[in-house]
A and B are shown apart, each in its own frame.
Chain A
Amino acid sequence: DAMVIQNPRYQVTQFGKPVTLSCSQTLNHNVMYWYQQKSSQAPKLLFHYYDKDFNNEADTPDNFQSRRPNTSFCFLDIRSPGLGDTAMYLCATSRERGGLSSYNEQFFGPGTRLTVL
């Protein structure tokens, strides 16, 4: 089945120790997104890639970086995790970016639950 896969599903890291979360997709979609979702809150967009074009949200901390080596894979790197970075990290994909009056459905992966100790 075509899908969005995230690894690992659960990750525990120490304060300040770099961590990388992985997302892969078999949908061959052009756009990949990373969201942060803290407990009992809505998902918040961190950045997205349209093909190889990286688009950062204005309020995403510099501590968060991303790489997309090919169409199928996208990585979220947290260079120096703080306690406040404990959250669920969701990857999503869409075929296209959409326009002012059109929407391309975003398909979400199951998420990686990150705990920073």
Chain B
Amino acid sequence: GQQLNQSPQSMFIQEGEDVSMNCTSSSIFNTWLWYKQDPGEGPVLLIALYKAGELTSNGRLTAQFGITRKDSFLNISASIPSDVGIYFCAGQGGGNKLVFGAGTILRVKS
């Protein structure tokens, strides 16, 4: 089946630093999504990308849909303690089914 490779697996950074994570796939996706999950909660959508090459921002977050439609990255600028959590990329192929990456655990030192 379709799989997403998400990296890095975890990050431990200093408050104020920028963060970058990415996902790659052997399959083409029509939509790329980035979710954040806090401990004990469900994932919350951060950014949705619909077109190859699209670059979208949401506050301090920026994400891009790769030209080949097989990859995406998420950047967080000037990290703050509440950025702590697990970040998942997800690709949507046919229908509304999502394939999730394994997640990136982000920890922030203040």
Please measure, in the bound complex, the distance between the C-alpha atom of A46 and the C-alpha atom of B89, giving whole angstroms: 19
A43 close to B (CB within 8 Å): yes
Question: In the complex the two chains form, is A31's CB within 8 Å of B96's CB?
Answer: yes
Please measure, in the bound complex, the distance between the C-alpha atom of A43 and the C-alpha atom of B101, giving whole angstroms: 9
Bin the interface of chain A by size: 20 to 34
B100 close to A (CB within 8 Å): yes
CB contacts (< 8 Å) of A73 on chain B: these are none
Which of B13-21, B42-50, B56-64 is the interface stretch?
Answer: B42-50
Question: In the complex the two chains form, is B92's CB within 8 Å of A110's CB?
Answer: no
Number of B interface residues in the complex (CB < 8 A): 22
Q: Which label, helix, strand, loop or mixed, suits the secondary structure of the B interface?
A: loop
CB contacts (< 8 Å) of A44 on chain B: these are 100
Q: Which of B41, B42, B43, B102 is most buried by chain A, counting CB atoms within 10 A of its CB?
A: B42
Mark A residues whose CB is within 8 Å of B. Answer: 4, 9, 31, 40-45, 90, 92, 94, 96-111, 113
Can you name 18 extra interface pairs (CB under 8 A) apart from A90-B43, A105-B48? Answer: A4-B42, A40-B103, A45-B98, A90-B42, A94-B96, A98-B92, A99-B95, A100-B30, A100-B95, A103-B30, A103-B92, A104-B96, A107-B45, A108-B42, A110-B41, A111-B40, A111-B41, A113-B40
